[in-house]
Amino acid sequence: MASDTLCVSSPKAKELRGEARMHNQISRVECQSGLSCSNESHGKSMSDRTNGASCFNQSIREKKVPGAKNDGLRNDKCAHTDIESEKGEDVCTPNLERTMDGDGDTCLHDDDGRCTACVAARSQQSTRLRSGSTLQDLYMQEFYDEDDDSDWEPVNRFVMKKWFCTNCTMPNFDDVSQCDVCGEHKESEVFKHDVFKTHNELGTESFCDLGSGYRNRESSSNTSTAIGFDERMLLHSEVEMKSHPHPERPDRLRAIASCLADAGIFPGRCSLIPAREITEEELRMVHSADHIEAVQQTSCMISSYFTSDTYANKHSAHAARLAAGFCADLAYSIMSGRSKNGFALVRPPGHHAGIKQAMGFCLHNNAAVAALAAQRAGAKKVLIVDWDVHHGNGTQEIFEGSKSVLYISLHRHEGGRFYPGTGAADEVGTKDAKGYSVNIPWSCGGVGDNDYIFAFQHIVLPIAFEFAPDITIISAGFDAARGDPLGCCDVTPTGFAQMTDMLTSLSQGKLLVVLEGGYNLRSISSSATAVVKVLLGEKPSFEMSNVTPTKEGLQTILLVSRIQLEFWPILQETYSALRAQWDSVSSLNSRRQVKKRKRLVGPFWWKWGSKRFIYEKLYSGFHSRRMLGRLL
């Protein structure tokens, strides 16, 4: 369990402790569903949305090369040398930093490990640490006056620690035992079943060898569900130790594999296909040569970054090629009839990776690779449904001018304020392919099952049936799931299962699910398991008789149907029904607003209340005497 210690003085311990909570670099987000979600520095940032490539320098430990000047490992940040593209184009290339001495030559440490540049750098770093530029520095800063010590008093300190949740990575203070975001207990273990340890103890084949010979084995039945998974994708991880664990971590795959094993699904009821690295020729159909080269160069580096949140280590390029290879082979297996459907349990994710750039934790676009592989296998039309909470800007960029690939995305948008800022309802494609990009942008967080299912009923399925795809690919990000620290939405495993079941009615059940995002381990494992169960033939228990969207959800769906009506006339009946429903909701809200406005002026008796008061004062005595006379 990672921890971080914060020391503060004791005279105002209680007050400072409250300030530490308020000034910590955690931003609270209250969702409509009542969920409390937190985003920190590793959350996807709007600064990562660029047209060109944006790279961040990272200190690299250089390998010792025989005959070279560098001796040993270098890890000092003094100067850097950029790797530039030979063609002069914008290319997202990780940059190397080498330690230089004062004269500009390569730094050579002596026997004591010292050099002029390093000593100067450490001195500057020490000065910055004493300047009190961070919260921790402000609390720990001590002021000493050698001339006046009249105000000196003993300083007692207490230690305030914070721990990071193993389930969602969000930080919590040490005085709480459960995570404020997902409710996970501080000492709990997410993995009930270590599937890798079990196989090693039994002395059986590793996961990457279980499917050996599958490619050459003709299946006697096309009812099997194929799984793409390899342990080597777990080697892709962030090397640099930071104050907050990265949400896109190897534990994501471990949690899903463990949950599938506990359910008796994997390995067992599913077929595991063998691993294969995607070829450069296949990648060139999706990405530019510069982008492919930039990703491949990371295999020579211990640590590098494409954007502030998109990391790579020496294993990342290999993991990305394995992930893309699985997606291509699964698409081919489904189109050839060897498998009925498939689930690509892969990482790093891919739907943010565009033609020339890596961003949003993504290196290669796995769904795009799968779509083109399906077309090479005979599919004339491919449908990609992206329900990741973030818009798949990379996938849309790759296919926005193609009429053979229909891209439909449901995501949080909030007027462009939610990462990556793209995916507005009026982004419909380019040139002759207008209408082949369908974006359903939610205007707020907290979106749940009913809004997603309602959107499927009135937009996704009508357009999809009209398009009539030969294969359907789901970019299945589970960060819209309940309890996710980045998505802050409220979709349940049953909701994901129902959406999957609705898509099985397309393309004769030829369906490929590709894992994208999702950063709450329990949410993604339970959601992925529910989806795989649908692929195996189980029916979800979602109640479809009373699916009522929220007002915000209905407004978004009505907007999208009005825009897409120009390209898909089949939506005319849906649009008319939604318009009537919206008018009734709007009129009801208008009446409520009018009533509220009147009540703001005052109650209905306010205008004559003063007159009644005068009347009663003047005539109440006379009226009483008159009534008394009658009685007598």
- ω before 274 within 30° of 0 (cis)? no
Strands (E), 129-179: 157-164, 171-173
Q: How far apart are CA 460 and CA 474, in angstroms?
A: 12
CB atoms within 10 A of CB 205: 13
Q: Are 466 and 569 in contact (CB under 8 A)?
A: no
Q: How far apart are CA 22 and CA 24, in angstroms?
A: 6
Q: How far apart are CA 313 and CA 236, in angstroms?
A: 7
3-state secondary structure 360-421: CCECCCHHHHHHHHHHHCCCCCEEEEECCCCCCHHHHHHHCCCCCEEEEEEEECHHHCCCCC
Task: Compute the radius of gyration of the chain from its Cα atoms.
Answer: 30
Nearest to 373 by CA among 512, 466, 214: 512
Select which of 291, 315, 351, 352 is catalytic. 352
The reply to whether 199 belongs to the active site is no
Counting beta carbons within 10 angstroms of the beta carbon of residue 200, is it exposed (0 to 12), middle (13 to 18) or buried (19 or more)?
A: exposed
Q: How far apart are CA 560 and CA 438, in angstroms?
A: 8
Residue type for position 519: Y
DSSP string, 112-133: TS--HHHHHHHHHHHHHHHTT-
Q: How far apart are CA 346 and CA 320, in angstroms?
A: 9
- ω before 267 within 30° of 0 (cis)? yes
62: left (phi over 0), alpha (psi -120 to 50) or beta: beta
Place of tokens 């996961």: 207
Catalytic residues: 352
